[in-house]
Copies of this chain bind each other. A is one copy, B any other.
Amino acid sequence: MLEPRAGAAATAVTVDLTAVIVAVTSGDPRLLIVGGDGADRLPAGPLQPEHPTLQSGLRSWVEQQTRQKLGYVEQLYTFGDRCRTLSASGVERHHRSLSLAYLALVREARPAGGGTGLWRSWYEFFPWEDWRAGDPDARRIIVDRLLAWVQEAGHAEGRLRRERADLLFGLGEVAWDEERALERYELLYEAGLVAEAWHDRGQEPPFSIVGGPGRAMAADHRRILATAISRLRGKTKYRPVLFELMPPSFTLLQLQRTAEALSGVLLHKQNFRRIVENQRLVEETGEIDAETGGRPAKLVRFRHEVTLERPAPGLRLTTAKRGSPLTQGG
């Protein structure tokens, strides 16, 4: 049997803990961002020996950098393929860095007093992902550029590119699938339509890209964010994670708006309530919210019996009709 070569094992590896911290406030899915100077960054810090667990290391970095306490936390993905060669003072060292990304959900976006934290809508980074006000302009711009990228390629490669573009950006017959946010970002990266693709190659992105749709982030943070969006959009459908983002009591419409904020699509109101009620995810508090602007709504709270249990504790989102996105019926 071939044993691992012991001598080569002493690789210098640093591990970064990176957090995507999500809250939904007044209908916007917001991220906690740090780094006022250069590009936007996600809160992150190196794993240290005094951290008893990975999660506790993450929590302590986040608190240190943003004063935000984390509630729900789940591991997202470990990134490490990009061999980031840190050339410090001429010495180019081949230093491997892993980035362990976590998704955290918190209840409300306080101004993050003290730290340099700043809440930003995630749609600033992914404007093409927000369909709540209809087909976003950003998507059309992107589609034009993608088609140009399809043209650039040879016949066979061009067909593949075309098919991916169609599939991911809902061209032709294909419907928009909000869960594919990560794949969409990766396609844009390959096509050179996001600034990060140029930076990673050591090039300056052309003006059309810099000024193009979607704010760039430092390093691969926008990719991490895309991973988080895809994960979260998928997970709400089969686990009651939405409630991690809600205050203790809320109306059904508020819950719906939160679901819509994350998914980026509008939902059919009556069907949404039907699902929430059928699955017995919430119970009435007995109180009434009169601030609705119309008929007052009953306040509900999440049924804690369900918290992490039950076979089908998810929330299958049933999207509203495409046509007129702002009418009641859908």
Which residues in A have some Cβ–Cβ distance to B below 8 Å? 1-2, 4, 8-15, 34, 45-50, 52-55, 61, 64-65, 75, 77-78, 80-81, 83, 94, 96, 98, 100, 115-116, 163, 167, 174-175, 177, 309-311
Contacts and interface: CB of A to CB of B under 8 A. Distances in A.
Question: Quick one: copies of this chain in the complex?
Answer: 2
Nearest to A83: B52
Contacts of A116: 1
A163 B308 CA distance: 11
A77 B116 CA distance: 31
Given A15-B98, A46-B11, A47-B11, A65 B2 contact: yes
A78 B52 contact: no
A48 B14 contact: no
A221 to B, nearest CB: 16
A231 to B, nearest CB: 13
A206 to B, nearest CB: 28
Given A1-B116, A81-B53, A175-B311, A9 B65 contact: no
A115 B45 contact: no
B4 A61 contact: yes
Contact of A55 (B8, B81, B98, B163): B81
B47 A96 contact: yes
Contacts of A55: 81
A1 B100 contact: no
